[in-house]
Structure 1
């Protein structure tokens, strides 16, 4: 039987689940090496999310299976000085794209990324950028992102 997933915009009530998957991601890519580092990340991320979700500078989409968050995305919005390709200076950084291993290859990351891009279009973002893991590169390329140095970008 195929697993059913729901995909929704995260709320303040989902902060602990966003953090749980962020920690899993950071452990998987070996950026958290100890319990002390994990505690620092958890506390700093909680403070960041409480502020930035409430002031609408950070948006996350989550996928759930049986009420468990199994996949997460994040997009941080900011404004920088204008440049020729982006005269409004509105940009977004995609981060925190992560799916629990036993829920991968179900199209969840694509669905979450599509929602992030739609949110960016709604906000008149001109440039979206991210740092891709090796596992994520194919998805981002298929969605139009191109490498520029060590990052990938998509102009809308």
Structure 2
């Protein structure tokens, strides 16, 4: 039986595992840079959960976590898209174990995250998507934007 629950600090290793698998499944080589990311991510997500800045949801099947998603609460200046709020949401770590995909688990987790954003009166939630994931996010109301990144090269 599938059940969804809130993530806790004790779930940091599972959330880290999902994050790593998410990048590998999106086409990134399972490389030393992902080891470094995971080493740094796990303590970060623990502190963010403890501080109430990372809200996560995990779906379990018979006690095994099979899917998860997180909502990061970001301080953000008032913006034309939301001229009253000083926060923005960032949806991240949406991951479903391969054998559980195409069962609407990700959609349900995304809806939980968006409902929490609405509850907190956060009107803008951003994310980054793979090409494969775009239809899922667009079906839940996300739209493409003109966002760009500058990224310094990083070494493992």
Name the CA distance, whole Å, in 1 between partners of 2:29 and 2:45: 19
Larger % of strand: which? 1
Q: Report the more deviating stretch, 86-95 or 108-117.
A: 86-95
Matches of 2:114 and 2:91 in 1, distance apart?
9
* CA distance in structure 1 between the aligned counterparts of 2:75 and 2:82, rounded to whole angstroms: 10
Identify unmatched segments of 5+ residues in structure 2. Answer: 149-156
Match for residue 24 of structure 1?
Answer: 21
Number of residue pairs aligned between Structure 1 and Structure 2 = 147
**Shift in alpha-carbon separation, 1:32–1:46, aligned structure 2, 3 A:** farther
Question: CA offset at residue 131 of structure 1?
Answer: 1.1
What does residue 57 of structure 2 align with? 61
Q: Is 1:75 paired with 2:71?
A: yes
Contact 1:131 1:150 in 2 (8 A): no
What is the Cα-based RMSD across aligned positions, in Å?
1.6
- Of 89, 98, 109, 2:95 maps to 98
Q: How does 1:86-125 map to 2 (within 5 A)?
A: 86-87=82-83, 88-125=85-122
Residues 69-121 of structure 1: per-residue CA shift (max 9 Å, x gap): 11111111112121222122320011111111111011100110011001111
Structure 1 residue 133 and structure 2 residue 130: aligned?
A: yes
User: Is the contact between residue 27 and residue 33 of structure 1 (CA under 8 Å) also seen in structure 2?
Assistant: yes
Secondary structure of the corresponding residue to residue 119 of structure 1? helix
**What's the counterpart of residue 49 of structure 1?**
45
TM-score (norm 2): 0.87
CA–CA distance in structure 1, aligned partners of residues 50 and 29 of structure 2? 27
The TM-score normalised by the length of structure 1 is 0.87
Unpaired runs of 5+ residues, structure 1, are 152-156
